[in-house]
Structure 1
């Protein structure tokens, strides 16, 4: 996670997986059913983000133990779900009042001294959050309810995989065109300065026609790996379409931008391929009072100039 990703909301892998209304309703129905089956005071899905643990789906039977959108900050050892995250495993607390640490927890202060929770993982395998139940009865959670909670966690993880497909390119794993459009809108509407590159793999159609699409797909993946290795660490890479990639970087001097582009061109030459690979790079900047369409036009014109120079180069 780095500065630019954080500014546009892509660095937080959990928050970038924004719930669709249909998935939110599905999760709410599952949590409502979980609370009913378990016979507990509260059932929740929590999401881990920059600020702490956020309640995103809640059923408290009409009582206001927890509210959607509330965040526990800072995360500390007196929060039941923090233990789940630390252990990356199920945690059960039958009676918090019988434990010197847990009797002072935020849950115990609400009278909810019985807890069972499981971790939820995002598509990268990192902790997304927790699904849990809380109650005021000092009785172990039944095996049947534990199994239902485990199935709920798996269902949520499956939904997160679907959501990820909505923001990333299936072939290369970088952000997709939709994410690019949304990111550019955030940057331009908030007057955030940034450097832009539009990168085109030269004569890629002919390459595909001659060597086949499987080889072409492999080459695109290699180009992405090279971009990640060569471009500044905070760069955001998007697949613009076909053989074109759009890159957003923190603003730097014209000289540094030129060095970064030339270094990338040189490293693409080193990719092992059936024939020499080259790229053309257009470079532009997001300046104040520019809309996204204007920025796209400028960087596209810069790429066109690079291609007119016989390709294998960059242009501003």
Structure 2
């Protein structure tokens, strides 16, 4: 069974951290371009672009993904590293769209979502031939794993938020349609429809759909406020 691609919202503070990664990797690789690309519907989008005067790519720029001929399309579809030292000397790549921007060398890795479907890529590009060293590849892999770990945490938080939201909606429905059950603010006993107080765990077994308001049972009034206890 093929997993459906999940949608994860990447907040601004995380994007700012990824921006620092893109800037750092471009500086360490001594190249004009470091990118984090994201699949966006039928398109592939520049999510993060390293800051530099020689970088022709800008965040928000999109291309249709399928049959685009982009380096990143191959990375995502193969789910493997792609190294192109010199596209001008490679029959497969000499006509790819990035040549128009003078980006003739490329190194990229896939970024995967927690369910193992593609999020996008992390890549560097150069305007001159570049073999990219093993150290650079290892550095790229480290940054790839950082981003994937961030995505996993974001996804888990998103799942928890959705569950909490559903629980809140459920409790509101209970309150609206089933009324509010009195619960003792001291010992947490529950007053049933017959006016009897019983332990909360016993009540919930019989009435898992109930919502609660606070009151105080006879025993707690007698113990805590004897002056006001009148008996039953």
Fold agreement, TM-score > 0.5: yes
Please list the CA deviations of residues 197-230 of structure 1 after superposition, one character each: whole Å capped at 9, or x if unmatched. Answer: xxxxxxxxxxxxxxxxxxxxxxxxxxxxxxxxxx
Residues 277-316 of structure 1: pairs in structure 2 closer than 5 A: 299-300=173-174, 303-304=177-178
Q: Quote the Cα distance in structure 2 between the aligned partners of 1:22 and 1:60.
A: 17
Query: Paired residue for 1:175?
Result: 162
Q: Partner residue of 1:70?
A: 61
Measure, in 1, the Cα distance between the counterparts of 2:79 and 2:159: 26
Matched with 2:132 is: 141
**How far is 1:30 from its partner?**
1.1
Find the aligned partners of 2:208 and 2:27 in 1 and give their Cα distance: 64
Q: Does 1:57 align with 2:48?
A: yes
Indicate conservation of the 8 Å contact 2:65/2:73, yes or no.
no
* SS of structure 1 residue aligned to 2:66: coil
Alignment-derived partner of residue 98 in structure 2: 107
**Contact 1:77 / 1:83 at 8 angstroms: preserved in 2?**
no
Which entry has the higher C-alpha Rg, 1 or 2? 2
TM-score where L is the length of structure 1: 0.52
Gap change, CA 1:94 and 1:159, over 3 Å in 2: same
Which residue in the other structure is 1:122 paired with? 113
Match of 2:216 in 1: none
Gaps of 5+ in 2: 180-192, 194-205, 210-232
8 Å contact kept, 1:51–1:71: no
Q: CA deviation at 1:150?
A: 0.4
Once the two structures are TM-superposed, the CA of residue 100 in structure 1 deviates from its matched residue by 2.8
Q: Say whether the 8 Å CA contact 2:108–2:124 is kept in structure 1.
A: yes
- Partner of residue 7, structure 1: none
Assess if the C-alpha contact under 8 Å between 1:115 and 1:133 holds in 2.
yes
Residue 255 of structure 1 is matched in structure 2 by none
Any idea what SS the aligned residue of 2:94 has? helix
TM-score by length of 2: 0.69
1:50-99 CA distance string (max 9 Å, x none): 13111111015223511101111143251000000111010011111122
- How many correspondences in the alignment? 182
Unaligned runs of 5+ in 1: 1-10, 181-237, 247-295
Question: Is contact 1:79-1:105 (8 Å) kept?
Answer: yes
Q: Which residue of 2 aligns with 1:159?
A: 150
CA contact (8 A) 1:123 1:157 kept: yes
